[in-house]
Amino acid sequence: MFADTALAAPLDHRALAVPSGVAKAQAKGRPRAVTHPTDTAMSDATRWMLAVRDGRDRAAFARLYDHFAPRLKGMAMRGGLNAAFAEDVVQDVMLTVWHKAAQFDPGVAPVSAWVYRIARNRQIDMARKRARPLPEELIEEASEPDSQQIYAMEQEVGFLQGALARLAPEQRQIIEKAYMGELSHSEIQAETGLALGTIKSRIRLGLERLRHELKELR
């Protein structure tokens, strides 16, 4: 997915020096304790995003921009915006990524899904000129990042991309149209049946994570 290994140099090694037990002990007193799993288990985008979140790293942000901005513009234009408005959306989304980086949690959502959600919400808010109804955020108090969970999310991204690549072209087109907002819910119901099944199997992981999280909150 991110072929350029020259860009993959770890941007923030501080946390790697901290044994996980220490990080755990410190987690309560700090806004974020970073326990990076091994570098190979983490995508470039995740590393860049963590460097932005924890180090306000502009070089890492520039990498994220180069990776996501053209895709975000494509997404906005598929949503029916002209090129100029689509770039307004790109700018707005990328600045939201910068400003809301503290909310990024690689154990909850991969970077691509986090950016996708921000883009959707911003695009709708800008089109409607009013805030979109959003679910409540889960209250996460000092939940220390779980490297196994981050690894599971990374795997999930790979699995989904692999599943997309293996779909027959027509099926893949339908899934693309569905997630680019080109199908209504009734069209999704009518047209995506089989292809949608490929993501259903991924729900279990998310469910287990949430149950785990809620147990910790109690």
**Ranges within 40-59 binding other proteins (CB under 8 A):** 58
Q: How many chain residues are in contact with other proteins, going by CB under 8 A?
A: 79
Output the CA angle 86-89-91, nearest 5 degrees.
115
Helices 203-217 and 147-166, interaxial angle, to 10°? 160
* Residues in 146-205 that interact with other proteins by CB under 8 A: 156-157, 160-161, 164-165, 175-176, 178-186, 188-189, 192, 196, 199-200, 202-203
Determine if 82 is a binding residue for other proteins (CB under 8 A).
no
Structural contact between residues 105 and 56, judged by C-beta atoms closer than 8 angstroms: no
Report the residue number, 22 or 194, with the smaller CB distance to other proteins. Answer: 194
Instruction: Say how many CA atoms lie within 13 Å of 205 toward its Cβ.
Output: 19
Of the candidates 123, 143, 147, 149, which one interacts with other proteins according to CB under 8 A? 123
Q: Is 135 in the site for other proteins (CB under 8 A)?
A: yes
Question: Is residue 104 at the binding interface for other proteins, with CB under 8 A as the rule?
Answer: no
Q: Which amino acid is residue 199, in one-letter code? A: I
Smallest gap from residue 30 Cβ to other proteins (A): 22
Question: Closest distance between other proteins and the C-beta of residue 158, in Å?
Answer: 9
Q: Does 115 bind other proteins (CB under 8 A)?
A: yes
Query: Contact 76/181 with Cβ under 8 angstroms?
Result: no
Do residues 136 and 182 touch, judged by C-beta distance below 8 A?
no
